[in-house]
Amino acid sequence: MSASLRRPVRLSAVELRLFPRPGFVLTDLTVEEDPSYGVEPVLHANTVTASIRLLPLWRGRLEISRVSVDEASLNLVRSTAGHWNLDSIFRTAAQSQPNAVSQRKAPPLPYLEATNSRINIKQGSEKLPFSLLGADLSFWQEKPGDWRVRLRGQPARTDVSLDLGDTGIVQLEASLRRAPELREMPLHLDLEWREAQLGQLSKLVLGSDPGWRGDLTGEMQMDGTADSAKITTRLRAAGVHRAEFAPAAPLDFDANCSFVYQYSGRDLENLVCDSPLGEGHLRVEGNLPGNAQPKLSLELQRIPAQAVLDALRTVRNELGAGLEADGTLTGKLTYDPKEPSVAPKPTAPPRRHAAKSAAAKEQAAIQGPLSGSITVDGMRLSGSSLSKPIQIQKIVLEPTPSPQGQNEVLTSTVNLPAGGAAPLVVSARFNLSGYQLTIQGSGTPARVRELARAAGLPDAAALDTIAGDPVTLDLAIDGPWLPAPDVSTNSTLSPTAADRLTGTVTLHNANWKSGALSTAVQISEATLHLGGKELRWDPVAFSYGLLKGTATLQIPATCEAPVECPPTLNLDFTTLDSAELQSTLLGAQKPGTLLSNVIARFTSSSAPVLPNFQGTVKAESLVLGPVTFRNVVVAIHMTQSAAEFTSIDAGLFSGQIYATGKLTSGVKPNYSFEGQFQKLSPPEVCQLLSLQCTGGSFNGDGKIDLAGFTGKDLASSAKGVVHFDWRQGAFSGRSVSTSAPLPPVLARFDHWTADAEIADGAVTLKENKVQQGSRKSPVEASVTFGDPPKVTFVAPKPSTLSKR
């Protein structure tokens, strides 16, 4: 064996077998490697059966006719010089032919076969992760100088996790004839790779899963030499789709290619690929030199538009489910990276044509390597969300000139009627990595919404509740052909950029309807800004019932759980009446009041559900019954069951109040507030109570709980406490005549501090002290809620006065 292979052969034991034919059973066989290819053995097997040639044995010579191994490990090594370790074995076999009758020839190469074995591939001393498992290999010399190879195995890769049942089965049959070097040996090869699943095949070849699924069968036939061969291939795929979803019409294709491969230059010459697509045909021709720019042409012969749409759906599930396309694509594109040529400069235009100078400069740009065009005839899109089809008689896709052939793209511009005064102008740019679209013009909200849904735009829902006059669009959409992977899963897909939708949608004289509101919000003007991490309506001039104001609304585009990302709503009013506000937002308990049934719309249960948002409410003036607040700023956080007023700042009676509060939704709205007031004007406070007074600053704090829809409900349910502090005050009388006089102690005082209780529809003074010099006296009084409020003083008993 060592003489036949010209390699050192080692073993640990030999057993002679006579039946059924003479031979040896070898244990722990190792065939050493040529040192120029490494130190690891070329072959190792635990058990080997070596059959003996009978005729040479009668002549006194021992020759091996067949070597059979099971569960062996075979290393195929390619050196840095490009030679394989099998090269020397073939040369050895070639030299085994007799040179003369008198000369002894080297033992002929035995019939070699391996079953259930493993074939490893090495690059120099480095073992690559690729291997064949469960391999059955046969190698024999059919006649002098003519060898045969038969191989069957399952591809595997050791550095990634693979489902080996889906990597397919490789079968190879080859014939070789004698030559001085392996790469010069005439070769005929038939290769078939079947039952491969695209996801596992991609992981096997690329080391990662790009996210394609489907069944693949490949066939290859090769004639020539390893250095120069003519190769024909056939690639059949069924059920091709993205891993994220199963499309309604998976992609099937059957592509046939032929080319001449030059190993020394890594060149592909005379490439021709044909594939039917629907009722049409697709053809690719060209050359792919290893050290130069490729030259290719792509020809489309009446490719059905539906086939192109189905192909797009294999990568974009959201692309108009149910959308159907009619029309055909015909044309040819040629990529020839020859030296760029500059188009001749146009002559200077007359002054009256100065407006066209920009177009003239465009034509003078350097022409790129891509030429030709693709024409779409009779395009008609129907179904899906479209109430009426989109019809375009002709679309022409042409290369756009670019400096030095960079960023080659196909462009086209079409007009789409959308119900506006002018059609939508859609400009498209396509390249190998992705697409770009710009949309400008106007259209009715309903038609624009249909087009957005048919295109699968993720933000199309922003227009679902809009109706009114045509909207004005100025949008840009761009993204890759393949969608971004879901980062919430353990996907091995390589990351790609996500689609981006930017621009503005402007509304005029529109209305917005929400399921939480019983009537629509009237919008005189609003602009939706798209792009970035949020959707932003700014500004919005609206009216809702009796409310009129402006607003901005920011809606986060994405939100990572468990973090909450509620919308941010900022409202600005000139004048705001609390009764109108409550009636509008919460409803009223009497027929005919605006939105009286709004709470019932929030939920099917008896408890209302409020919309979830955060933001601010600002008003130059807020009327709360007989009281008017100035420059009101309320920070609010509203959930489905409550509204939290995180801060309330407002001017009141020439002073300021600071408070926090909460509104809880129930059968009746429940309010709770806590805060303080500073530097209130005593004359203004007394005027509210129909009193006349003067004095220093009026300060205090308090808290109150109340519930209800109407003022009467709120007054009767109010409960709480209030404390005030008043220095250097004086009462001069009442604004209206009354029989009850003012307590004399209030005629003029230095300091009045008091605690009061809010209950039973009134504010009643409890512990309080009115200080006049060193004398301190209490006052008994109450304020009954009403419009206006009613103040009642109780004269103290004489005994009490004398004691004090």
More confident residue, 795 or 263: 263
Q: What is the rounded average pLDDT of the residues 772-783?
A: 90
DSSP 685-728: HHHHTTEEEE-S-EEEEEEEEEE-SSHHHHHHH-EEEEEEEEEE
Per-residue pLDDT for 101 more than 80?
A: no
More confident residue, 468 or 607: 468
Per-residue pLDDT for 413 more than 90?
A: yes
* 94: confidence class by pLDDT, cuts 50, 70, 90: low
By percentage, how much of the chain surpasses pLDDT 70?
82
The most confident of 185-199, 460-474, 597-611, by mean pLDDT: 185-199
Peptide bond into 56 cis (omega under 30): no
Q: Is 15 helix (H, G, I), strand (E, B) or coil?
A: strand
Q: Spell out the residues 6+ positions from residue 416 whose beta carbon is closer than 8 angstroms to its own.
A: 390, 392, 423, 424, 426, 451
Q: Is 774 helix (H, G, I), strand (E, B) or coil?
A: coil
* 343: confidence class by pLDDT, cuts 50, 70, 90: very low
Residue 41 token pair: 């053995």
Contact criterion met (CB below 8 Å) for 167 and 161: no
State how far the alpha carbon of 181 is from the alpha carbons of 169, 178, 360, 558, in Å.
30, 8, 61, 62
The Cα 800–Cα 576 span in angstroms is: 48
More confident residue, 751 or 664: 751
* 748: confidence class by pLDDT, cuts 50, 70, 90: very high
Q: What is the rounded average pLDDT of the residues 406-427?
A: 86
More confident residue, 492 or 193: 193
Per-residue pLDDT for 804 more than 70?
A: no
Q: What is the pLDDT of residues 628-647, one digit of tens each?
A: 999 999 999 988 778 899 99
Residue 373 token pair: 């065009």
**What radius of gyration, in Å, describes the C-alpha atoms of the chain?**
45
Contact criterion met (CB below 8 Å) for 626 and 640: no
Which pLDDT score is estimated for 310? 81
Which pLDDT score is estimated for 485? 52
Per-residue pLDDT for 412 more than 90?
A: yes
Which pLDDT score is estimated for 681? 93
Which pLDDT score is estimated for 802? 40
Per-residue pLDDT for 356 more than 60?
A: no
The most confident of 77-81, 607-611, 656-660, by mean pLDDT: 656-660
Residue 144 token pair: 């002098």
* 588: confidence class by pLDDT, cuts 50, 70, 90: very low
Contact criterion met (CB below 8 Å) for 435 and 481: yes
Which pLDDT score is estimated for 359? 46
What is the residue-averaged pLDDT of the chain? 81
Q: What is the pLDDT of residues 616-632, one digit of tens each?
A: 999 999 988 788 999 99
Per-residue pLDDT for 340 more than 70?
A: no
Q: Is 159 helix (H, G, I), strand (E, B) or coil?
A: coil
* 464: confidence class by pLDDT, cuts 50, 70, 90: confident
Per-residue pLDDT for 298 more than 90?
A: yes
**CA nearest neighbour of 606 among 669, 667, 663, 665:** 667
Per-residue pLDDT for 489 more than 80?
A: no
Ranges of each domain in the chain: 1-160, 413-565, 590-680, 688-804
DSSP 572-614: EEEEEEHHHHHHHHH--SSTTSTTTTHHHHH-SSSS--PPPEE
Q: What is the pLDDT of residues 695-741, one digit of tens each?
A: 998 999 999 999 887 778 888 899 999 999 999 999 988 766 555 67
**CA nearest neighbour of 368 among 319, 412, 398, 406:** 406
Looking up tokens 């009537």 gives 519
Q: What kind and span of H or E run contains 305?
A: helix 305-313
Which pLDDT score is estimated for 611? 63
More confident residue, 211 or 538: 538
Peptide bond into 562 cis (omega under 30): yes
Q: What is the rounded average pLDDT of the residues 668-682?
A: 92
Which pLDDT score is estimated for 459? 63
List, in sequence order, every residue forming a beta bridge with 276; answer none if it has no partner. 281
Contact criterion met (CB below 8 Å) for 443 and 436: no
Per-residue pLDDT for 318 more than 80?
A: no
Per-residue pLDDT for 178 more than 50?
A: yes
* 105: confidence class by pLDDT, cuts 50, 70, 90: low
Per-residue pLDDT for 272 more than 90?
A: yes
More confident residue, 455 or 268: 268
Q: What is the pLDDT of residues 122-139, one digit of tens each?
A: 888 888 888 999 999 998
List, in sequence order, every residue forming a beta bridge with 151; answer none if it has no partner. 137, 172
Lowest mean pLDDT among 56-60, 544-548, 567-571, 759-763: 56-60
Q: What is the rounded average pLDDT of the residues 448-476?
A: 82
The Cα 40–Cα 801 span in angstroms is: 117
Q: What is the pLDDT of residues 366-392, one digit of tens each?
A: 566 888 999 999 999 998 788 899 999
